[in-house]
Each structure stands twice: as structure tokens, then as C-alpha cells.
A and B are shown apart, each in its own frame.
Chain A
Amino acid sequence: MVETQQGISTFLSFGAKSVKPEILEELLIGRQDDINYLTKCVGEIADDGINHQIIVVGQRGMGKTHLLRVLYQRSQSFLKDKKLMIAYFSEEEYGISGYLDFLIRVLNAFIRWNDDDREELNKQMDILRETHPSRQIDTAENIITNYIGDKPLLILAENFDDIMQALGKDGQGKLRSFLYRHSRTSIIATSQALSPDLGREDRPFYNFFTTIYLKKLSYEDSLALLRRLAEMEGKDKNNVVIKHLQSKGIAQVRAMHELVKGNHRLLVTFYEFLKADTLATLSKIFIKTLNDLKPYYETFIRYLPPQQQKILHYIALAKIPQNGTEIGKNCFIEQKTLSKQLSELSRRNLIDAITDPDDKRNKLYDISEPLLRISIEIGEHREGISALFIDFLALYYSFDELATQKNRFENLWEYETNPQLKEDLWHDVKAREEAIDLKIRLETNRKWSKAFLKFKKKYEDKDYKIAIKLAEQVPENERSEEYYGRLGYVLSILGKYEMAIEVHKKALQFNPKSVVLWYNLANLFGTLKRYKESIEASLKAIEIEPMQNSLIWYNLGVNYYEIGEEKKAIEAYIKATEIEPTKWLAWENLGVIYAEKSNYAEANSFFHKSIETGADFIKNESWMPKKEMLLCVSDRIIFILQHEQNLTIEEAKHLENIIEKEYEMPKELEIPYLYLKTFRRFVLEKEEKALLELPKEQRAFFVREILEKRKIFAQN
């Protein structure tokens, strides 16, 4: 082999063909079935005297070069044993203008990959050059057949659709004839799309090949690939990405996976996203990545006929799916020409045809890859690149996700002290706000049935009883995740929990990876005391986003507690507090569990946290009556005074301070505050008169319930 082989960094910059084979083998994730099948086929060609004619079809960046490179590497043993000859074409076979060029490529491939035979083959090439043009094809065929002798020949070629086009009907006929005359020749080739010539009855290769369609990476594959990349990169450096991918990074992988639609190459490009510390940094990397990808996407478009370019630009900039009439009108293309161009763009996997929900006889057309749309927009946006980031957010994230992100950034912004980071966070808040606005505009422009729009309106107006009636009128084809999600929520508000559960299950069929839906479902089960099912649903949500949502962990803790699994409940509450250290409910419940177990030391420490975080809870959560919550805090203060033998003056003052400043001394906490202060002065600072300053009835309670019980607990 003559090509220099590079390491992982080359892989990250797309050069699969020049990366070390062992690295490629390790990174071949999501293609194991395909590569094993192809390897088996090569074995059969070499050992069993049979042929295979296979085309592997996949979009750009789906790992075709990678696959073929690994296949070539796996075939080395057959080459060494001289059971097989392989002509492995280079990826970009430019300059094939006919059948003779194809044969020359076969000879060049022999020369490139076979050091031992290079000299002799070059001599044969010289003979070919000297041969009269009318006989060069015959001579080239003969050089090839003489060289391979009685061994089978396997041609490994990429971009076979381009080769077919370059060969033309005449060249294809000659190639087919060669294959039948030299019947130990096999072709395993890759192609971005199935050449139309393979499906046309009047073409030589009509239905000649077995087709393997490469599947897009699943989410699990994407995660596995990025982890493998991180591990391999981490061999050289102290890689933080490995750790990141075990926690928060998992959610980011989901975003990236959705964004690149399971495309290997793009996923690898977006690997750098994982190194972003904050979403603010993400926006910078996003811009850089898009600029880097622009030339790549331009190659999608550059070689298209002008009319197809126009159509693609129009659909991309329209943002929402467009019907044929609009496309024709805006691109100044007649309808009869338009349909041919649209079907060609569909065949090339550049646009998707969707049935019009208003009129099933019509089709709407949309760009197949979100990144292609954004890349086209780069050259069109007057507002510059920041608008694109907002588009990216709006296209990818749901309303709920954007709202959550906005809240999160607002919180971070509030507490950030570094001016530069504070400014970055502020940009992120604004970006989410604008993305939400844009999403509303896009949704408004989308063609929905009147029934669906009315249903949404009533839902947003919280007129749930009417909404539920309107829901029945929504056409079947609009009953999506959004529809079932909203309907499920309406049913749960109206107390129809069983029905709400069934509707949530339907919503999950559309998007089994929706954390919100699993979370809601867990709550519904919990409400119906179906704790085990609730736990299952919570675990599903956690599987998708392990470290994103403290509420899910909290609910999991509650359900484990209800079925007596205290240890698991504690673990779940701890997770909740790790994600959200201000999670009052979790601290509170942890304290309760330990108190029940008479482990007062632990209980006290959790109740301290509970008191510290309670004020924040009152400010942000309105679902729990404030009075009820404050009485709970009051109880915890008394509990600490009763049980904590080592309470220090500073700790007591700290608690007093929280009640004064954070809780702003509400009525419900006035007396516990008084007890706390008295305790500090009388017990810790030994100030005798402090007890006497308490009103009589409170003094009696203080002595009986705090001082006496404290002695009893101390003895125990």
C-alpha cells in the first residue's frame, strides 16, 4: 500500500480513506451488520467461486468510504493467499469519460495497490498507450484479464452513480458485456443515490445489482460513536469529553443526533460541540462549524441544474413546506417542468415530499436536512450569522425546551459575577427569546386545519373543557406528538387520569424519546398510586436525559419511598440535589427518611439544607400553599433544636439570618425564630435571662418540647 495512513485527527477532518485501518475498524459503529455481510460476500467470491454485484446506497457522509476502506482491509488475507484480485478505485474518480477510462481506472487501481506488479503493469500501460485507438478497449480488457488470470476480480468503487453517468448507455453496455464474458468479475460499489440507469428497462444494468441501503445512525449509535471518538482521542490527551459524555453531554448528543439526522460525517464534525462548556460557547462553535460546512453543502448544490438550484434555494428560505404551485410561481418554472425537477430532487434525497394535510392529493416539499437549509441561508441572511443561530434553536428545540433553557440562562445570568460570562449568558437568554418568537411565527404560518387551531387556542386559553371537545374534530393526520401531548395534559387537568395515560402513550409512539412525556406519564401513574409503573416511566425519562431534570429524580424518589425502597429513594433524592442543589423538596424528603430511621445526625444535616433552600422554593413554585410550606419549615427548626446536639452559635445565627433575610420573617416563622434565638442565647451562649424573656406559654413549650426532649434524645 502506498498511501500514508493517518490517525484520529484525520478522521475528524473527513479523510476516512487515509486513516489507519485499525482506527476505521474501531469507529465503524452502526454498520456492523453491513460490513459483516460484505465481508462474507468477499469470502464467497474468493472461496466459493461465486459472484456478487452489490451497490451500497447512502447519502453523503453516511460512511460509505469508511465502509469500503474497512472491507478492503478485511480482504487482505484473500489477496495475500492469491485467491482474489481487487481493483480498489480512489474515491473521486474524476475524468471517466467512457468505458476505456473505466478500464484504465481498473489498471491504475492495480498499480496503486500492488507494489510487486507495478513495474510490469506500467509496461502494459505503455503498450496500451501505443495501441491504435480503435483497439485500445480490446487491449485494455485483455491486459486486465491476463493480469487476473483465473482468479476472481472484485472491483471496489465509490460514487458509482457518477461512474454510470460518465459511462453512458454505450459504456454501460460494454461494461455489462465484459462482466458476462469474464464471468468471475464482481462489483461492490457505493453510491449516493441509486442511478436512474439501474431502474430503467432499456439500460444495460437494469436490476443488475443487489442494493443495500445504509441506515441512518440511531441515537444509541450516535452516542456510541462519539464516546468511541472521545475514548480514542483521550488516549493521547486528558480528555474531558469522556466524562462529559457520561453525564450532561448525553443530552447534547441527542440534540446533535437530531440535527445531523443520523449522518456519520456530520456527527463527527459536530464532535467539537461537546467541548463547549456552556451553550454560550456552543453558539460560537455553531457559527464556526457552519462556516466550515458551507463548502461541503455547496457541493450538494453546485452541480445541480439551475432550475433545481432555484427550487432548493426557494424551499430553504421559505422555512415551511411549500406546495408545487407556490414553488413554480416563485421560481418562474412551468408546472410540467417543475414536477420532473421536484421528483429528481426527491430522488437525490435533497427534499422531502409530504402529503398536504389540507388536501391529501397535493404534496408539500421541504428541505430534507436542517443543516442544508441553514447553510443555504448563510449567504442570504442580512442580519448575519447570529440570526442563523436563532433559526437553529427554533428549528431544533420545542417550545418547552426553549422556555426551560431561557429560565436556566436567566438564573445563571443572575448569579454570574464574571462580566464577560454574564454578557454571554445574557446573549443566550435573548437568543432563546427570539427563537421562541420565531417559532411562534413559523407555527402561525403553518397550514393547520381549523379544528386543530381552535383546539390549540382553547388549550392556550386554559379552556380545557371546550378544548377536549374540539380535540375530537382534529383530523387524523394532524394527531401528532404535539396533539396527543396537549390532549393528555388537558385530560390530566380534568382528572381523567386513565385516559390521560393512554393518550400519553400514543404521544410517545411519535416521540419515544420525549422526556416531558415520560415525566408526565410518571406523574399520572403516581397520582393513581401505580408506583411501579411510575418508576418505570421515570427511569425511561432518566435513560434519555440522566442528569438534566431534578424533578424526575425527585418523583422517582417519592415512588421508591412509597413502595418501601428507601435506599433507592435516598439515591434518587441525592441525584435530584446534585442536578439542582436548591431542590428543597428533595432535601426535605431526605431529612424525613433519616428522621424516620432515627438517624438524627443525617436528618439534621438535610433539614439544614431544607431550611436554606425553602425560601427559594416559595419564590419560584406556586403549586404548594405557602402557609403549608412555612409550617413545614417551622417544624424543621424545632426538630433541629430538639435533636442537634452539636449545633454551634454560628449555625444558629445562620439559620436566624435566613429566616430574617431570605424568608423575610413571615408570620408563620415568628415563633420558631424566637425559639431559635432563645436557644442560641440560653443554651449556646449561656445567657440565663434569655429564657425569661420568652412569654410564659412559649417558655413552657420551649422547656417541655425543646429542652426536655433534647435531654431525652441526648440520652438515647
Chain B
Amino acid sequence: MTPYKIPPTTGPMPVDKIVGRLNEIEDIYQHTMAGSLVISMIRRMGKTLLLQKFAYITVKENRPNKAIWFDLMKVSDVTELTDTLLMELTKHKKHGWLKVQFNWCKELYNKLKPPEVKVSTGTSYLPEISFKLPEFKTEWKKALTACIEDLAERKAENDEVLTLILDEFPYMLWQWILNKKVQNVIELLNLFRSLRMSLQEKEKIRFIICGSVGLDVVLNHLRSEYKYTAEPFNDTKSYVLEAMSDTDATFLCECLALSGYTFVDDKMLCIELICKQVENLPFYINKTFEILRSSSQSQISLQNIKNALNELLTNVNDDDVFEQLDTRIASYYPKTESDIMLGILDYLSIQTIAKEEDDILRSVDFTPKEVKSILRVLCKDQYLNRTINEEKRYYQFKYEIFKKWWKLNKA
């Protein structure tokens, strides 16, 4: 594929410009043919762009399994959830490929809507019905059920699967928890579980739950604080979004370089160094190019690339680029756990090799049970990698760049 111009931006981009990740998309595709999926990864790893591209490809290539991407970050209230789904579904229905009648929704809507309220659609993509009206405040579960049931009853080809990508679903739940809407969270999780089970039987609908706030974080919080005991996603596979492949990372660099950069040293050597320095993490590739623009007049040399990494790791203006590694621990874990996490990360950041679990236990002042449990969480949260050698567990930072930052700024 010929490289095309993209700027070093970290926000949304037209879906046809999203670089690479085709192998990951095929992996996810295969997973969703079999069942639902949970994708968790820290922020700015390109989850949303990947899933938007995934949905785009499945529809564009008319695959048997088509996906629809929903952004739930905007859903601040349970009453907004069904409307958010309906809005996106209406758009796809108008595009022609999604053949759904919304009969259950209409029936419910007509039954309860106040006759005097005019809900203006005004424009083409607004659905004719809305459950955000006060009359439906206590009926949100029925509305959501009706919406999913309508999807299940859509007119579909044989074996066609519909995947609903619920992006930022855990974030949405976490915000509800913070806004003291825990009961809604628990009820929604329970509803999802029952809907999923019934839809799984019909084998027509899959879910991809994705978010930077791990679903585990939400569920653990509910368990510890609200005695929540259900396992709404225990039968769902987890998928870890890793850094880009060498090919994708190289291609990303080539695309970025077209937006006004000049190679002073050998192009491929430079690109290789950029990718190596930031371990193929696309967000940090973008950041490197940003710094090369602002600090080196868009001149790419081997030395400038090294300087850019140094700036990335040490400049206070770029501090928050990594700060999430620290703050998310305080945001999502109780102090008893976060103290242990910080202690372990401090210790591992100054080690040159992977450390055996026993060494870690000796280095931090917590009980072995606590430390072992937290090591597991840190691995699930993608901070650490675990390897087993001669029946002993060894841990180290998953990404060297994170380790360097932690060592320079936190340890």
C-alpha cells in the first residue's frame, strides 16, 4: 500500500485513513464469529479507531458478520442509552444494509408516549421515536430490551451475525457509579447478561465491550463496595490490544512523514529508530512526530529522534502523556491496593532484568497474599508482563518506555 499523508494527530480521523491493524481486525473478527469479546487497554492505544475501522470493513466488504460501533462515553444516564443505540441503528438502517423494523420499540413507544408531545425529527438520521421522555424514565429496561429484540428479529441472511460494539461501556458504568447511580449499573449489567444469554442462543448478536477503564475494575469495585456477586461477562473472551506490528508502525511513520517532514539521515534507519524507541505504540509514534515538528523544525535525524524521546520522557509540558500510568491507579483502585501497586512499580522500574516474585515480595512491605494479588492485577492492566521460567514467576514492565518514564519521574 502506498503511504498517504496524515498529520501527527491523536484524535478522531476519517475511517479510511486509519492506519494498519488489519491482522488485529481479522483476529477480532474470528473471535466475534464465535462469541462476544471484552477489549481492555489503557487510554490512547487506538482502541476506538481500531473498532471504527473494524465496523467499517465488515460493512464495506459485506461480510457475514457486520458490526456497528456505538460510542457510550456520551451516555450520562440510563435513559439515554436506548436512544443512543437507536440513533446509530437508524443511520445504518437508512444506509440500507440493516433491515430492522423496530416493531417492539414502536409498540412500547406508542403505548406510553404522551399524546401532546411532538418529537421533532427535523433531519434525516433522527429516529422517529425516543425513550428519553419522562414517561419512559422507569421503563428503560423495557426500551432497551425492545431495541435488542428488534435487532434479533431483523431480516437477515442465513448465518448473518450482527456485532454491537459498545465502546467505552465500562467508562460509562464508572461515571454512573461516580454519579451515585450504582443501582442502574447493577440492573443494566444483569439485563445485559440475560439479553446476551438469550441472544447467544439465537446466535445472531454479539457484543464487543471495549474501554480504557477495564470491565474488571468496574466489577471488582461493585463486588467490594456493593456486594455484587454476579458474573455478567464470565463467558466472554478477553482480547488484549498490543502495540502495532513492525509493518504497521513503519507504515504509520511513512504516512506521518508525508505531512511536511524532511529526513536528514537515512529514512528507513530513522523510522526504525522511532518505532524501536516507542516500541511501536502508535500514540507515542504520533507524539514523537509532534515533538520533531515543534522542537526540530520537522527535520528527522537520528539525533533529533533521540532528543524527541528525551523530551517526551522528561519535559514537564509532555508530562501528562504518561501520567495516566500513575493517575489511573489512584482513580480506579482503593488506596490499600494502589499503595502496593506503586511500591511494586517503583521497585521494578529501577531493575534491569525481570524480577522473580520472591524478590518483589522481599522488596515491598506488604503481605505475600496482597502482593501476589496485585501483581496479577498489574498484568491484567497491561503494566507488567509475567513470564514463567523453571516454575518461577518473573515480572517486568510490559513496555520499556513506560519503565523509563516511571523510573525518571515517579520512582
A associates with B: yes
> Which residues of chain B (312-338) have a CB below 8 Å from chain A?
317, 319-321, 323-324, 327-328, 331
- Cβ-based interface call for B372 (8 A): no
Whether A213 and B317, one on each chain, are in contact in the complex, defined by CB atoms closer than 8 angstroms, is yes
Q: How large is the interface on B (under 10, 10 to 19, 20 to 34, 35 or more residues)?
A: 35 or more
Q: How far is the CA of A146 from the CA of B126 in the complex (A)?
A: 11
- Contacts A48-B5, A131-B122, A198-B320 known; list 10 others, CB within 8 Å: A52-B9, A135-B132, A138-B83, A139-B126, A180-B71, A181-B88, A202-B328, A207-B43, A207-B321, A209-B10
Residues of chain A within 8 A (CB-CB) of B44 are 206-207
Would you give 23 A-B contacts (Cβ < 8 Å), ordered by A?
A37-B293, A44-B5, A49-B17, A51-B9, A53-B9, A53-B10, A132-B118, A132-B130, A132-B133, A142-B124, A169-B175, A173-B76, A174-B73, A174-B76, A178-B74, A180-B52, A180-B71, A183-B13, A183-B15, A201-B327, A201-B331, A207-B320, A207-B324
Residue in chain A with minimal CB distance to B42: A201
* Distance between A397 CB and nearest chain B CB, rounded to angstroms: 32
B303 within 8 A of A: no
Q: Distance (Å) between the CB of A108 and the closest chain B CB?
A: 18
| B127: min CB distance to chain A, Å | 9
Contact in complex: B10, A202 (CB < 8 Å): no
**Which residues of the other chain, A, contact B48 by a CB distance below 8 angstroms?**
180
On chain A, the residues within 8 Å of B43 by CB distance are: 201, 206-207
Q: Can you list, as one digit per residue, whether each of A32-46 has a CB less than 8 Å from chain B (1) or not (0)?
A: 000001001100100
Q: Does B11 contact A (CB under 8 A)?
A: yes
Q: Which of A44, A174, A213 contacts B259 (CB 8 A)?
A: A44
Q: Is A212 close to B, CB under 8 A?
A: yes
Residues of chain B within 8 A (CB-CB) of A201 are 43, 212, 323-324, 327-328, 331
Q: Does B388 count as interface, using CB distance less than 8 angstroms?
A: no
Contacting A at CB under 8 A, from B234-252, are: none
B73 touching A40, Cβ below 8 Å: no
B7 beta carbon closer than 8 Å to chain A? yes
- Return the chain B residue nearest A44 by Cβ: B7
Bound complex: CA A181 to CA B44 (Å):
17
Shortest 6 CB-CB contacts between residues of A and residues of B: A199-B320, A201-B324, A177-B74, A142-B123, A53-B11, A134-B132
Residue ID in chain A nearest B328 by CB atoms? A201
CB interface residues, A 80-138, toward B, < 8 Å: 124, 127-128, 130-132, 134-135, 138
- Against B, the Cβ 8 Å flags (1 = close, 0 = not) of A158-170 are 0000000000011
With a 10 A CB-CB cut-off, give which of A131, A177, A211 has the most chain B CB atoms. A177
Report the minimum CB–CB distance from B105 to chain A (whole Å).
Answer: 15
B292 shortest CB reach to chain A, Å: 12
Which residues in window 67-87 of B have CB below 8 A to A? 71, 73-74, 76, 83, 87
In this assembly, does A210 line the interface, its C-beta being within 8 Å of a C-beta of chain B? yes
| Least Cβ–Cβ distance between A62 and chain B, in angstroms | 16
Look across to chain A and name the residue whose beta carbon is closest to the beta carbon of B298. Answer: A37
Contacts of A466 in B (CB 8 A): none
Assess whether A142 is in contact with B328, with CB atoms less than 8 Å apart.
Answer: no
Cβ 8 A contact of B123, one of A53, A139, A206: A139
Q: Indicate whether A183 sits within 8 Å of B12 (C-beta atoms), given known contacts A50-B5, A131-B120, A139-B120.
A: yes
Interface residue? B115 (CB, 8 A): no
CB <8 Å contact, A135 and B130: yes
Q: Which of B1-59 contact A (CB under 8 A)?
A: 5-15, 17, 43-44, 48, 52
CB pair B132 A50 closer than 8 Å:
no
* Given A49-B14, A53-B11, A146-B123, A40 and B74 contact (CB-CB distance below 8 Å): no
Q: Are B130 and A142 in contact (CB under 8 A)?
A: no
A592 to chain B minimum Cβ distance, whole angstroms, is 52
Partner of B120 from the list A127, A145, A206, A209 (CB cut-off 8 Å) is A127
Nearest-neighbour CB distance to chain A for B269, whole angstroms, equals 26
Contact of A185 among B12, B122, B212, B321 (CB under 8 A): B12
Interface string of A513-544 (1 = CB under 8 A from B): 00000000000000000000000000000000
* Contact partners of B11 in chain A: CB under 8 A: 51, 53, 179, 208-209
Q: Flag whether A176 is at the interface (Cβ < 8 A).
A: yes
Considering residues A131, A135, A138, A139, which has the most beta carbons from chain B within 10 angstroms of its beta carbon?
A138
Query: What CA separation (Å) do A333 and B312 show in the bound complex?
Result: 36
- Tell me if A143 and B120 are in contact (CB < 8 A): no
Give the residue name and chain of the B residue nearest to A138 (CB): B126
Contacts of B130 in A (CB 8 A): 132, 134-135, 138
For the complex formed, measure the closest distance between the CB of B335 and the CB atoms of chain A, giving whole angstroms: 16
Report B140 CB to chain A, min CB distance, Å: 13
Question: At the interface, is chain A mostly helix, strand, loop or mixed?
Answer: helix
Does the CB pair B12–A51 fall under 8 Å? yes
Interface size class of A (residues with CB under 8 A): 35 or more
Q: Tell whether, in the assembled complex, residue B12 and residue A179 are in contact, meaning their CB atoms are under 8 Å apart.
A: yes
**Cα A602 to Cα B7 with chains together (Å):** 69
**With an 8 A cutoff between CB atoms, is A184 at the interface?**
yes
Tell me the smallest distance from the CB of B322 to a CB of chain A, in Å. 10
Distance to closest chain A CB from B6 (angstroms): 5
- Residue among A52, A128, A139, A180 with most chain B CB within 10 A: A180
Q: Closest B-chain residue to A134, C-beta based?
A: B132
**B-contact 0/1 string along A195-226, CB 8 Å cutoff:** 00011111010111111110000000000000
Q: Beyond A48-B5, A53-B11, A176-B73, is A135–B120 a contact (Cβ under 8 Å)?
A: yes
A48 to B12, CA, bound (A): 15
Which chain A residues lie closer than 8 Å to B328 at the CB level?
201-202
B157 shortest CB reach to chain A, Å = 27
Report the separation of the CA atoms of residues A655 and B6 in the bound assembly, to the nearest whole angstrom.
Answer: 82
- Check A200 against B327 for contact (C-beta < 8 Å): yes
Which residues of the other chain, B, contact A53 by a CB distance below 8 angstroms? 9-11
Cβ contact within 8 Å between A138 and B87: yes
Instruction: Point out the residues of chain B lying under 8 angstroms from A174, CB to CB.
Output: 73-74, 76
B149 close to A (CB within 8 Å): no
Supposing A49-B17, A202-B328 touch, asked if A132 and B117 sit within 8 A by C-beta, the answer is: yes
B155 to chain A, nearest CB (A): 26
Q: How far is the CB of A99 from chain B (nearest CB, A)?
A: 8
Q: Is the pair A132, B119 in contact by a Cβ cutoff of 8 Å?
A: yes
Measured CB to CB, the closest approach of chain A to B50, in angstroms, equals 12
Q: Is the CB of B12 within 8 A of A52?
A: no
Interface pair B73/A139, CB less than 8 Å apart: no
B327 neighbours in A (Cβ, 8 Å): 200-202
Which chain B residue shows the least CB distance to A212?
B294
Contacts A40-B260, A142-B122, A146-B124 given; indicate if A184 touches B14 (C-beta within 8 A). yes
B9 lies within 8 A of A50 (CB): yes
Does B233 interact with chain A (Cβ within 8 Å)?
A: no
Task: Let me know if B203 is at the binding interface, CB within 8 A.
Answer: no
Are A210 and B8 in contact (CB-based, < 8 A)?
Answer: yes
- The closest CB in chain B to the CB of A53 belongs to B11
Question: Please, which residues of chain B bring their CB within 8 A of the CB of A198?
Answer: 320
Q: Considering the chains assembled together, what is the distance between the CA atoms of A697 and B12 in angstroms?
A: 104
Contact A132 B17, CB 8 Å, known A50-B6, A139-B126: no
Q: How far is the CA of A40 from the CA of B260 in the complex (A)?
A: 9
For A146, the closest partner residue in chain B by CB is B123
| Nearest-neighbor residue (CB-CB) of B286 within chain A | A210
Partner of A199, one of B76, B122, B323: B323
Shortest distance from the beta carbon of A262 to any chain B beta carbon, whole Å: 18
Q: For the complex, give the distance between the alpha carbons of A131 and B122 in Å.
A: 9
Mask, A420-461, CB within 8 Å of B = 1, is 000000000000000000000000000000000000000000
The residues of A that contact B213 with a CB separation of less than 8 Å are 202
Residues on B with C-beta less than 8 A from A208 are 10-11
CA distance A271 to B71 in the complex (A): 52
Complex CA gap A124/B71 in Å reads 26
Is the CB–CB distance between A139 and B122 below 8 Å? yes
Taking the closest CB of chain A, its distance from the CB of B47, in whole angstroms, is 11
In the complex, what's the smallest C-beta–C-beta distance from A537 to chain B, in angstroms?
31
Question: In the complex, which of the residues A44, A200, A210 contacts B10, with contact meaning CB atoms closer than 8 Å?
Answer: A210
With most chain B CB atoms within 10 A of its CB, the pick from A174, A179, A185 is A174
Contacts of B132 in A (CB 8 A): 134-135
